[in-house]
Amino acid sequence: MVGIGPKQPPSRKGSMHDLPQNLLQQIKDFEDAFTVDRAKLKEIVNHFVKELEKGLTVEGGNIPMNVTWVLGFPDGDEQGTFLALDMGGTNLRVCEITLTDKKGAFDITQSKYKMPEELRTGTAEELWEYIADCLQQFIEHHHENEDLAKLPLGFTFSYPATQEYIDHGILQRWTKGFDIDGVEGQDVVPPLENILKKRGLPIKVAALINDTTGTMIASAYTDPEMKIGCIFGTGVNAAYMEDVGSVPKLAHMNLPPDMPVAINCEYGAFDNERVMTAGLYLGEIFRLALIDLIDSHKDLIFKGQDTSKLRKPYLLDASFLAAIEEDPYENLSETADIFDRELGIRPTDCELEMLRRLAELIGTRAARLSACGVAAICTKKNIESCHVGADGSVFTKYPHFKARGAQALREILDWAPNEKDKVSIMAAEDGSGVGAALIAALTLKRVKAGNLAGIRNMDDMRTLL
């Protein structure tokens, strides 16, 4: 197959010759459907570049390209102690980060709190009270009877938000299963600060950030070759540094055209109807492929078995496919067990071969398509070589994802066969914690220098200096 990616781990290729003709044909059909060759990757990247550019215009496009008001990378000399609040989908994390006098070094203390399920559909006040409770517990444990007036907070709020200032953000829409009335369309900073003030906690939000931007900044703090931050998890996203002069929707502000500003792409919306590379979709694509096979080819697979469990949308997640790809046994006994346990189906040996190949194809497709966003940013910015800081469950846990993505970059960016990777995607630093603290530090540093672009509460900021 052309362009299927790097060599697969020792799999079932040798035994495929023993499969009946009808299953071999079905595997070929799957290969035709899910293979993304070099030409298609390049076509996608060219379209992607145009969509990135459109998102920077006043009219906008499918990709929001949110301006973050993070104006530049850290130089490694940032110092001070900062609070970081990370509101994820499942947990709330409170961190205290000290950026030390050793270049690129930091100390971190943190506590994790489970987000109660009822909060997801509760009231706005319940949400902010709960967050304040967690912050207060953390403060009382670590800073009893101390003056907190100069302890700035970096708030990682990883939901799509419009930011006209770095110290505020208007929630565009809830994601990750949240549906709390009275928050969408509102600035999320004042209600939190108001509740903290009522409790006698004079903590001010110095920066509201997205985890992708935090990932880029935290990674650049320890590695100056970092130019892009990515998330490959339940969703996908990237952040990079753009010149203000290349952002038409900022033209009215008359800022220096060469001033850098971090852009949170929110490119999970890129061609949403067809691409579907995120972890959220991998198990669902696998499930739909099997349902299509069951419905269109009677008794081809799972003959005489109850397949009703497979009819439930989004029943399978990316970990289901990962388990199949990680099955180390020649007879694929672990794959057989997971099908029996999760779906009540006992595949035959031949069916197991096909299921393994289908999982490999879908996992490879996702990794190759995920590389297109990185390649598009590099193409747009004429970046020939850099490091890319990546986080997210698919990147860190899905087998062969990194190698397959790296191979796709080689093909898209036309590196010579023996040439070393010029753009390397590697594990990121803690963007939601360290990144939030660093962005708070960078914000205060530029306030001190008199660069007040994208800052709303000047007086509050100056009290933190």
**Higher pLDDT residue, 159 or 425?**
425
What pLDDT, on a 0 to 100 scale, did the predictor assign at position 83? 92
Domain identity same for 47 and 84: no
Same domain, 235 and 131: no
Report the predicted TM-score, pTM, of the whole model to 2 decimal places. Answer: 0.89
Distance (Å, whole) CA 182 – CA 161: 15
Measure the CA angle with vertex 329, ends 323 and 332; round to 5°: 65
**The pLDDT value given to residue 281:** 87
**Same domain? 197 vs 249:** no
pLDDT above 90 covers what percent of the chain?
66
Q: Where is average pLDDT lowest: 247-256, 369-378, 440-449?
A: 440-449
Assigned domain for 218 exists? no
pLDDT of residue 126: 94
pLDDT of residue 148: 60
Please tell me the distance from the alpha carbon of residue 244 to that of residue 379, in angstroms, as a whole number: 18
Whether the predicted pLDDT of 2 surpasses 70:
no
* Mean pLDDT, residues 97-103 taken together: 86
Residues 123 and 230 in one domain: no
> Per mean pLDDT, which range of 299-313, 349-363, 451-465 is the poorest?
451-465
pLDDT at residue 17 in the model: 61
Q: Give the residue-averaged pLDDT of 289-297.
A: 93
Q: 186: closest CA among 208, 206, 202, 204?
A: 208
- Are 405 and 336 members of one domain? yes
The pLDDT mean for the chain works out to 89
Q: How far apart are CA 130 and CA 119, in angstroms?
A: 9
What strands, in cross-sheet order, belong to the sheet with 260-264? 66-67, 260-264, 236-243, 226-232, 386-391, 423-427
Please confirm, yes or no, whether 211 is among the known catalytic residues: yes
Give the residue carrying structure tokens 């060469």. Answer: 258
* Reported confidence tier of residue 406, pLDDT bands at 50, 70, 90: very high
Strand, helix or coil at 41?
helix
247 and 207 housed in the same domain: no
- Average pLDDT rounded to a whole number, residues 55-72: 92
The CATH code of the domain that includes 177 is 3.30.420.40
Question: Domain residues for 93?
Answer: 76-211+437-464
**Bridge-partner residues for 209, per DSSP?**
156
Q: Provide the pLDDT for residue 151.
A: 81
* Known catalytic membership, residue 167: no
Q: What is the pLDDT of residue 269?
A: 59
Report residue 52 as tokens: 């990135």
Residue that wins the pLDDT comparison between 270 and 249: 249
The catalytic residue among 86, 211, 327, 430 is 211
Count of domains for the chain: 2
Please tell me whether residues 128 and 232 are part of one structural domain.
Answer: no
Q: Which of 11, 12, 86, 158 is catalytic?
A: 158
Identify the pLDDT of residue 299.
84
* Dihedral angle computed from the Cα positions of residues 322, 328, 334 and 336, in that order, rounded to the nearest 10 degrees: 90
Same domain, yes or no: 123 and 160 = yes
% of the chain residues with pLDDT over 70: 92
Q: What average pLDDT does range 388-394 have in this prediction?
A: 93
pLDDT band at 12 (very low <50, low <70, confident <90, very high): very low
172 and 250 share one domain: no
What are the beta bridge partners of residue 229? Answer: 239, 389
Q: Is the pLDDT at 244 greater than 90, yes or no?
A: yes
* Segment of 11-20, 437-446, 451-460 carrying the highest mean pLDDT: 437-446
Residue 220 lies in a domain: no
- CATH code, 304: 3.40.367.20
> What integer pLDDT is reported at residue 270 of this predicted model?
60
pLDDT (mean) for 361-384: 95
Segment among 30-39, 47-56, 72-81, 321-330 with least mean pLDDT:
72-81
For residue 127, what pLDDT is reported? 94
Express each pLDDT in 346-362 by its tens digit: 999 999 999 999 999 99
Any catalytic annotation for residue 404?
A: no
At position 448, the amino acid (one-letter code) is: K
Residue 67 has pLDDT above 90, yes or no: yes
Question: Quick one: pLDDT at residue 276?
Answer: 56
Instruction: For residue range 251-283, list pLDDT tens digits in order.
Output: 999 999 999 999 999 887 565 545 656 777 899
Give the separation between CA 53 and CA 354, rounded to whole angstroms: 41
Regarding whether 235 and 371 lie in a shared domain, the answer is yes
Once rounded to an integer, what is the mean pLDDT over residues 315-325?
95
> What is the total residue count of the chain?
465
Q: Residue 205 falls within a domain, yes or no?
A: yes
pLDDT in tens, 204-216: 899 999 989 999 9
Could you tell me if 258 and 137 lie in one domain? no
Residue 432 lies in a domain: no
Report the pLDDT averaged over residues 59-67: 91
Q: Choose the catalytic residue: 29, 75, 107, 173.
A: 173
Does residue 429 fall inside a structural domain? Answer: no
The predicted pLDDT at position 141 comes to: 85
Pair 63, 81 in one domain: no
